[in-house]
Amino acid sequence: MKSKSKMWLEKAVYAYKTLVLRQQSPWLVGIVITDKCNLNCHYCQSKNCGEYHFTWPMVCQALDSAYQRGCRSLYFTGGEPMLWRSGGKRIHDVVAYAQYLGFHEIFVFTNGTFPLDTPDCHFIVTIDGPKAVHETIRPGTYDLILQNVRQAATKTIFASITLGRQNADCIEEYAREMSTTGLFRGISFNLLTHWPEMIREHGIPPAERPAIMDRLWRLKQQGYPIVLSKAAWRALRHNNWKRPIRQIQLVTNRRVFDCCRDIDNPEICENCGYANCVEVAQILALRPSALWQVLKMTGN
């Protein structure tokens, strides 16, 4: 495993190249390790589509290449990464390999319905509302998720919510409920990001976005651990941040995308609600609140 001082040195060099020399090399990489999923959320079109699945040799090669390109921060997504298997290997082996290569932070996005027993990674667990609302979207899973979080191999776990019509009314209740569990280091969120027809049916209309963002910001000011810097709040509220983000990549078994899979779809990008991308955009714009936010999220 790489020493902390080496990691800080790599971060400092990258920050200098990116923020001072304005180079656009990638740092954060996501791997869509599989599209297999045990759930069936109504807004999700990628689950079980049979398009995305890495074998063990393929995922090792993808990690090698990402590391060579300069990526040091990594997340796994899906589908459900905890379901991934290949030739007797599971996500534990992939995380261990990424650690061996020298990635600094490793996050696993998960629906939380499997034991969170992978060591040496951070989990981002999707819970789509307070219990009653979550259960309408992901039936029969809420108690199981909290039980798995309680027994997780790491204590660095974030709750994450995708906000749409079905759950936007309850964000205050959600923040209270997640905080009361005492299980989460923070609460992250996305605004449902999709094709315009899907947003019309399930998403937050652009005109309602400022009010939602203001409610999230109020919660943050009240002391709830919402992962949201002041700069990102403003950028999301006004939807005026610079995109795509070339410092982020997303890797599938077919292609390496800059930013995310929707980079070729301007209709989706123009109303992007991926809050983490907005935070990165604010870091690149040297906003102090965003720099502080990322230190809080990744610091131990």
Q: Which residues bind ligand SF4 (CB under 6 A)?
A: 37, 39-41, 44, 47, 78-80, 111, 193, 243-244, 259-260, 262-263, 268-269, 272, 274, 277
Q: In angstroms, what is the minimal distance from the CB of 41 to ligand SF4?
A: 3
* Residue 168 to residue 204: CA distance in whole angstroms: 8
- DSSP code for 90: E
Q: Which residue number, 130 or 244, has a Cβ lying nearer to ligand SF4?
A: 244
Q: In angstroms, what is the minimal distance from the CB of 102 to ligand SF4?
A: 26
Q: Which residue number, 18 or 77, has a Cβ lying nearer to ligand SF4?
A: 77
CA 140, 144, 146, 149 dihedral sign is: negative
Q: Which residue number, 219 or 277, has a Cβ lying nearer to ligand SF4?
A: 277
Q: Which residue number, 33 or 219, has a Cβ lying nearer to ligand SF4?
A: 33
Q: In angstroms, what is the minimal distance from the CB of 266 to ligand SF4?
A: 8
What distance separates the 2 farthest-apart alpha carbons in the chain? Answer: 51
Q: Which residue number, 47 or 237, has a Cβ lying nearer to ligand SF4?
A: 47
Q: In angstroms, what is the minimal distance from the CB of 210 to ligand SF4?
A: 18
- The candidate with the shortest Cα–Cα distance to 202, out of 156, 246, 137, 266, is 137
* Residue 276 to residue 242: CA distance in whole angstroms: 13
Q: In angstroms, what is the minimal distance from the CB of 80 to ligand SF4?
A: 6
Residue 288 phi/psi, 5° resolution? -55, -40
For residue 49, CA distances in Å to 53, 88, 181, 251 come to: 10, 23, 34, 16
